[in-house]
Amino acid sequence: MLIDTKLPILGFSAYSGTGKTTLLSKILPLLKAKGIRTAVIKHAHHNFDVDHPGKDSHTLRHAGASQMLIASDKRWALMVETPEIKNQPQLSELLQHLVYKNLDLILVEGFKDEFFSKIELHRPSLKKPLLHTKDKNIIAVATDEKIQLQRDLPQLNINDADQVSNFIINYIQLNSHNAQQINLK
């Protein structure tokens, strides 16, 4: 079953070291320049912490707060401890925490085993198998050299952020439930 959201959602699926974060960091300013308000959900395979020892929020969380919300006039962040959860979080659960009224698009890094539209990133030099052969939710492949695909999919240049961002903009326009509300500059 595909994940259904109020907004277009598009993932970047690839093996570690392919350049998902690098490509996203180039695409995000291009989308922002077009007036597209984007959220990113990133899957982390390891224990991580965005809070730092010595900060009050870190002290309070480690003192026993199961949720710690820290806020300023510029941003806010919610840290939620989930020791009772033994499995990886599901994307559908994480999507519930976004503030949709401030967004036009959700980009997802990782979660390659979940069912939603994705762009596969592939570098033949890494000698990893193609993902689109087993994942029918892949709608395009971004690669650094022309490759033979097993399905008829658009091939994008992984090193051309403009091309990839234009593909995303077209995807938004075709898949937005509120296409008229997206004001592309």
This prediction has a pTM of 0.83
Give the residue from 9, 38, 178, 179 showing the smallest Cα distance to 102: 38
Q: What torsion do the CA atoms of 113, 110, 46, 126 make, to the nearest 10 degrees?
A: 100
Q: How far is CA 25 from the centre of its chain?
A: 11
69-78, 100-109, 122-131, 171-180, range with the lowest pLDDT: 171-180
- Collapsed DSSP state (helix, strand, coil) of residue 57: helix
At 27 the pLDDT is 97
Does the structural domain 47-85 have CATH classification 2.20.25.120?
Answer: yes
* From-to residues of CATH 3.40.50.300 in the chain: 9-43+88-181
pLDDT classification of 96: cutoffs 50, 70, 90: confident
- Other C-beta atoms closer than 10 Å to the C-beta of 3 total 18
- pLDDT for 105-153, tens place per residue? 999 998 888 889 999 999 999 999 999 999 999 999 999 999 999 999 9
Closest CA to 177 of 1, 9, 2: 9
Give span(s): CATH 2.20.25.120, the chain: 47-85
Q: Per CATH, the architecture of 9-43+88-181 is what?
A: 3-Layer(aba) Sandwich (3.40)
Assign 13 a pLDDT band (cuts: 50, 70, 90).
very high
DSSP state for residue 165 in the 8-state scheme? H
**Between 75 and 154, residue with greater pLDDT:** 154
Radius of gyration of the chain (CA): 18
Residue 177's pLDDT band (cuts 50, 70, 90)? low
